[in-house]
Amino acid sequence: MYSANCPSCGAQVSFRSAASVMAVCEYCRSTLVKEAGSVRDIGKMAECLEDYSPLRIGVSGNYDKRRFTLVGRIQLRYDAGFWNEWYVLFDDGSAGWLSDASGQYVFTLPAGRVENAPPFGQLRPGMRYTRDNVVWHASDVRSAACTGGSGELPFPVGAGWEAKVADFRSGERFLTLDYSDSAVPDLYLGQAVELDQLQCQLLRSDDEIAEGAGRYRGKTQALECPNCGGSLSYQVGQACHLLCPSCHAEVDASEDRAVVLAKHDEVETLNTTLALGDNGKISGTAWKVIGLMKCRETDSGETSEWVEYLLFNARLGFGWLVESSEGWERIAVLNRWPEVPSESAVRLGGKTYTQLYRYGSEVIYAAGAFNWRVSLGDRVMITDFRGPDGKLSAEHSANEITWSHAQPVPAQQVAEWFGKKSKVAAPARSDTATDYSLKGPAWVFTLLMLLLNVPLSLFSGVAGLIIIVFALLFLWVPVLVVKHLSGKR
């Protein structure tokens, strides 16, 4: 271990890893760079936003049968959110990284540089990259700015430092190409992990998390909308992207003061089955509805709409419930990706899922708090795959792909979870199914009528044609009326 006195305040600063070249003084926030037996102060480092992560510097655990300790942290912000990267020091002197984003964790270890990697500007989510006979799928490609740091780090970072990274997945395995310092990227290999399997010690307790986040922000879970003065509730340090239910302004509450990011025209208030602030207990765990958005189908001939409810639990993070005309579904974002042998089928856990639908989705209403920036008009492409235990969905945006698993939930079960037995109803019959159940026979009888009667009308003249027209109207008017009424449900 190497120690030196901070040139700014005189406090002792320690470097536990021989590979560490930078440390942040915990007393005065000075950024110190290690140089040939001394340290140089290169300026102040901003504090990290104290979020709801249970991790902190000093936490120890086990990964791949090796003991580690968290010794440093940087916080990276992109256009729609932020995440933490924790610098890990193993007992054998080697190092790695533990990524922490909205309750999902990835452990990666350095594996040298990649000379034949594609240029960063050519990478897109969904692209395939083959290395060591393993096919990897690009899951996330983006640039992010370092907005804060603490502890010791293996490279100097500060104001203006930008990370350019591309993440790839293969099952639960994880690969990162880091172009931050060079056009020739650094390679990191690892896997998605659950916090429990790391056997961590000295994690922050629930009380410490709530107290620390609240103290840093000065407020616990409420503030006034900077645009209209309406009340906004949110989870401090975790779901900091807000949409005001009153004026629909987009508000960022992740800095020292709330900032209006965008304003929208007045949007009609949406009456939903579950409301912001509703509390429920699912499988013995308390969840709270903190955000909701209504989406509609695009890029197809359908006009389906559905509501997505964002749930939050202080220890487990985020979950989803979706309500549509087909019923309710509980959604879990996947840390382990399915195998994709073809466009028409995927495999996960020994089960095969076949492609069901591919369609676009557009956000037409949103309110509450989210762990990323949600805007009206946001669009993604969704591909659904049907399997023996529900549905797998791939959601594809310009910067990332996410996979999720949906399982149907009876309406009565949702009612019991949230104590709304009189409000949660069984799903209405699908508009699409109703439409097609009438259209099919109508088209069959139309074709038969034309085949049988058009030749006869050539001999009966105008009177015969008039009879055919009235017969078609008699056949199709009920179909059109049902479709019009279905669209108003």
Is 31 contained in some domain? yes
pLDDT score of 246: 73
The pLDDT assigned to 460 comes to: 57
Q: Do 336 and 301 share a structural domain?
A: yes
Beta strand pairing call for 390-396 and 379-387: antiparallel
Q: Measured on CA atoms in the order 272, 434, 296, 409, is the torsion positive or negative? A: positive
Task: Among 418, 442, 460, give the residue marking a domain's end.
Answer: 418
Task: Give residue-wise pLDDT tens across range 188-229.
Answer: 999 999 888 999 999 888 777 766 654 433 333 566 776 676
408 and 439 both lie in a single domain: no
Q: What is the pLDDT of residue 141?
A: 94
pLDDT digit string, tens, across residues 218-273: 333 566 776 676 666 665 555 666 777 777 677 776 665 555 556 655 556 678 99
Residue 33 CB coordination number (10 Å): 15
Residue 128 lies in a domain: yes
Number of domains within the chain:
3
Indicate if 44 and 118 belong to the same structural domain: yes
Residue 222 counted as domain residue: no
Same domain as 287, residue 181: no
273 and 376 co-located in one domain:
yes
Torsional sign, CA 230, 233, 236, 239: negative
Neighbouring C-beta atoms of residue 221, cutoff 10 Å: 18
Structural domain that includes position 139: 2-198
Domain-located, residue 15: yes
> What per-residue confidence (pLDDT) applies to 390?
93
Inside any domain, residue 92: yes
Reference 425, options 201, 273, 300; nearest CA is 273
pLDDT at 416: 94
Pairing relationship of beta strands 2-5 and 317-324 according to DSSP bridges: unpaired
Q: What is the pLDDT of residue 435?
A: 44
Clarify whether residues 290 and 340 are in a common domain. Answer: yes
> Do 191 and 94 belong together in one domain?
yes
Assign 3-class secondary structure to the chain: CEEEECCCCCCEEEECCCCCCEEECCCCCEEEEEECCEEEEEEECCCCCCCCCCCCCCCEEEECCEEEEEEEEEEEEECCEEEEEEEEEECCCCEEEEEEECCEEEEEEEEEECCCCCCHHHCCCCCEEEECCEEEEEEEEEEEEEEEEEEEECCCCCCCCEEEEEEEEECCEEEEEECCCCCCCEEEEEEEECHHHHCCECCCCHHHHHHHHHHHHCCCCEEECCCCCCEEECECCCECEEECCCCCCEEECCCCCCEEEECCCCCCCCCCCCCCCCEEEECCEEEEEEEEEEEEEECCCCCCEEEEEEEEECCCEEEEEEEECCEEEEEEECCCCCEEEECCEEEECCEEEEEEEEEEEEEEEEEEEECCCCCCCCEEEEEEEEECCEEEEEEECCCEEEEEEEEEECHHHHHHHHCCCCCCCCCCCCHHHHHHHHHHHHHHHHHHHHHHHHHHHHHHCHHHHHHHHHHHHHHHHHHHHHHHHHHCC
pLDDT attached to residue 474? 64
Model confidence, pTM: 0.74
Out of 166, 198, 230, a domain closes at: 198
Q: Are residues 398 and 312 in the same domain?
A: yes
Residue 216 is predicted with a pLDDT of: 38
Residue 380 to residues 38, 113, 255, 358, Cα–Cα distance (Å): 51, 33, 28, 11
Does 248 map to a domain?
Answer: no
For residue 266, CA distances in Å to 42, 117, 263, 295, 445 come to 48, 47, 9, 17, 47
- Domain co-membership, 345 together with 403: yes
Last-in-domain residue among 198, 231, 259: 198
pLDDT at 128: 92
Domain for residue 226, yes or no? no
Q: Which residue positions in the chain have pLDDT lower than 70?
A: 1-2, 15, 17-22, 34-43, 45, 49-50, 52, 158-159, 210-223, 226-227, 229-241, 248, 253-269, 300, 422-489
Contact 382, 320 (CB under 8 A): no
**Do 167 and 280 belong to one domain?**
no
pLDDT of 215: 42
Both 477 and 403 in one domain: the answer is no
Do 413 and 463 lie in a common domain? no
Q: Classify residue 314: in a domain, yes or no.
A: yes
